[in-house]
Amino acid sequence: MMGKDINSEALVSQNNSELLLLPLIGIGLFLVCYIVAASNYPGGSWMFPDADGFSFQHNYLCDLLDEYAINGKLNAARFYARTSLGSLCISLLLIWFYLPKLFHPKSVNQAIMRITGIVSLATIMLLNPNTHDGTVRVAGIFGVLALISCFIELFKARYYGLFGLGILCLVVFLFNYYSYETGSFIEFLPLIQKITFILFLTWFVFLNVTIYLKRKNK
């Protein structure tokens, strides 16, 4: 009878561990939906307003979210882009919720990390053309606080690879923000934005897999 109880507990624990992989599914959905959105974008960028289609080099990712494309046509990509953004935000929100599971013992800093990360992602979900700049700034402030708190925990727990990649993400993000606010290197900003996204998504995937493996092994 005791053997059955132990097996049941192990099965429940394993099922709970599998739920930790939900963010990876959401990130995959984000990528698929954004590719579909980009293929349906009518055209236009801030440098080339009359261009056709989506340009990886000249369009910002948020161009896909607007009701009308920059060339003035109704934006058929908007639904897919909104679905993509929602999927990404929920996925990353779950990662920030799960993240304290990676560390022991528990601390106030981990609570700060979780709360600021969730608030940052919840703010981004409110993104719209009328409040774009303000939303990005508020989400950015909470996001940086969450990252710094996370870096402290990663370093203390000796996850040096994740710590180093996270620092690289933050540096590129700050350069992205500097370019956005000052106009320096503005012609390269759409490309810098995508590099920033790729780096962060890679980091979050590694974080998620590390959380899953630790909980599964435990």
Section 48-71 average pLDDT: 93
Phi, psi of 213 (to 5 degrees): -65, -40
Here the tokens at position 169 are 């993400």
Chain segment 89-129, per-residue pLDDT in tens: 999 999 999 999 999 888 999 999 999 999 999 898 887 76
Which DSSP state fits 59? -
The answer, yes or no, to whether residue 10 has pLDDT greater than 60, is: no
Domain count, the chain: 1
Structural domain range at position 137: 8-217
- Judged by average pLDDT, the poorest of 8-12, 60-64, 107-111 is 8-12
**137 assigned to some structural domain:** yes
Which DSSP state fits 158? T
Chain segment 179-211, per-residue pLDDT in tens: 988 989 999 999 999 999 999 999 999 999 999
**1 assigned to some structural domain:** no
Contact 170, 203 (CB under 8 A): no
Query: pLDDT averaged over the chain?
Result: 89
- Entry pTM: 0.86
The answer, yes or no, to whether residue 4 has pLDDT greater than 50, is: no
**3 assigned to some structural domain:** no
State how far Cα 211 lies from the chain centre: 16
The pLDDT of residue 135: 86
Per residue, the 3-state secondary structure of 1-25, as one string, reads CHHHHHHHHHHHHHHHHHHCCHHHH
